[in-house]
Amino acid sequence: MRNTPLWLLVFLQAAVSAASLIVEIVAGRMLAPYVGMSLYTWTAIIAVVLAGFSAGHWLGGRWAERPAARAMTLTGWALLAAAITTALAGMLLRLGAGPVLSLTDNPLWSITLLCTLAFFAPSFFAGVPAPVLAQIAVTRAEQSGRALGAMFAAGAIGAIAGTLLAGFLFIAWLGSALTMVTVALAYVLGAVLCFHLARGLVRLPVAAVAALTLGLCSYSATQPTPCDSESRYFCIRTESIGADPNSPVHLMVIDHLAHGISARDLPRVMFTDFAAMLDGLARMRMGERPFSAFFVGGGSFSIPRAWADRGTGPLTVAEIDPEVTRIAARDFWFDPETATILTQDARRALLSRPMARYDVIVGDAFTDIAVPSHLITQEFFELVRDRLNTGGVYVMNVIDFEDRLEALAAVHATLATVFPKVEIWTEQRQPQPGQRMVFVLVASGAQSPVDSITLPAPDPTTYGALGRGFTEGLLARKKPLILTDDYAPIDRLLGPG
């Protein structure tokens, strides 16, 4: 074993820690096209990765008891294994998602199992080096306490660097697949360094495994991904769903959910229940007069496109992801010149424009099937009220399940603390047991003039406001929370579905 300087061990520890945290952050993006991006997804990722690290630390601790050269050689092999399993993670997700997700109807178990399949092994092998490197640093340093502190600090600093690099640089610039390839190559370099320091390098086997790893990296980099585009926020793809290629119809999928449908030749037609209700109910409330509108989220920009075509009035859209806006213009025939596009969070956009007032504010922002928690609180609804003109209306999309309705009840109860009148609209038909349902809440100072409306979605569909008796009974049964910035547990209210 070479007389290894402490700075080199510190550097290796920081590099391995950074690489392992990059994998943890990228895991969220890679799982999103299969299971969405929710509290449950991140909980599973963190739990699985920490379990892998813990098991790897245990094995590394056992190896650290061996002679330093032998321990360093074994660490080199562990890093090669980390490189191989990292390179294979994407392929395991593609091949394993269908079978794993069909094993159980419980989404919590299916998310955890799929995450374990792809990301436990890379975390396990990445957890091996830390105790080995720390043991060597302590036994070879004159000041063992400082050496141990330096190794712990290196691990923490590396984790911070990996998190920042993944979130701010790698995913947006390289995408998930190339980021994982980059991490795998870093592990290979770390393994070569370990073998070099150990002087126990068996060149032919190591070269063969390194070549295999590089081959897997090349293969992984060339495989198709579920995303047409990966932004800082989402995995986005466009699917053609029209029967006539001369009259295209496109579907926007963000992560694993459909977020909007548009037809090139039918700009005013909505193709989903939520879009039809948001569009039709807002226009019904405004009547024939022109009106200004603010959109909380853009998605496929189907409604802004339709209102621009109708000439309803000035439009402002707060879409946090510029890539979503770019794809809406490219694939969904939205003209950005017809609206003011604010590339920022909608709440921030409303806060930073205290003088702006709108006749209609449309809430249609989602993370997975849940509205982001900061957009369903009493404080946010007060901000919305303050930005509405006299006689203005707020319409928002809410998803819940027929057998729960706790999220719907909580959002309604919270809106009712801010607006005098809150209506719940949905399709007029009997839902199936446990069905995921789409609702639109209409909040304003006055009741709608009608309690039923037929809209094209694209076939004529009748939507109605839930009766007062049903709404009061729902609120009495559920005893809903008033959602605030301090406490808005939307994922728990929706449940694991």
Q: Would you say the CATH fold of 264-494 matches that of 6-226?
A: no
* Residue 147: band (very low, low, confident or very high) from pLDDT cuts 50, 70, 90: confident
Q: How far is CA 187 from CA 58, 158, 190, 217, in A?
A: 20, 14, 5, 12
Note the pLDDT of residue 55: 97
Give the residue with greater pLDDT, 6 vs 209. 6
Q: How far is CA 197 from CA 73, 192, 205, 211, in A?
A: 8, 9, 17, 20
422, 442 contact by CB (below 8 A): yes
369, 340 contact by CB (below 8 A): no
For residue 216, pLDDT beyond 80: no
Give the lowest-confidence range in 17-21, 176-180, 324-328, 461-465. 176-180
Q: Which fold has domain 264-494?
A: Rossmann fold (3.40.50)
For residue 116, pLDDT beyond 60: yes
Where do we find the tokens 């720390």?
134
Neighbours of 142 (CB within 10 A): 7
Give the residue with greater pLDDT, 98 vs 331. 331
95, 4 contact by CB (below 8 A): no
Note the pLDDT of residue 4: 80
Instruction: Give Cα 475 distance to the centre of its chain.
Output: 31
Tell me what the pLDDT averaged over the chain comes to. Answer: 90
Beta-bridge mates of residue 251:
239, 261
ω before 99 within 30° of 0 (cis)?
no
Mean pLDDT for 192-212 is: 71
Mean pLDDT for 395-419 is: 94
Where do we find the tokens 């809150």?
422
Return the domain boundaries, the chain. Answer: 6-226, 264-494
Mean pLDDT for 112-125 is: 95
Give the residue with greater pLDDT, 229 vs 303. 303
Beta-bridge mates of residue 229:
236
Would you say domain 6-226 falls under CATH 1.20.1250? yes
* Residue 452: band (very low, low, confident or very high) from pLDDT cuts 50, 70, 90: very high
Contacts for 28-33: CB closer than 8 Å, 24+ residues apart: 29/171, 29/176, 29/230, 29/235, 30/89, 30/90, 30/93, 30/118, 30/176, 30/180, 31/93, 31/111, 31/114, 31/115, 31/118, 32/234, 32/235, 32/255, 32/256, 33/226, 33/227, 33/235, 33/255, 33/256
Give the lowest-confidence range in 92-101, 197-206, 396-405. 197-206
Sheet of 421-427: strand order equals 340-342, 315-318, 293-296, 358-363, 388-401, 436-444, 421-427, 460-465, 452-456
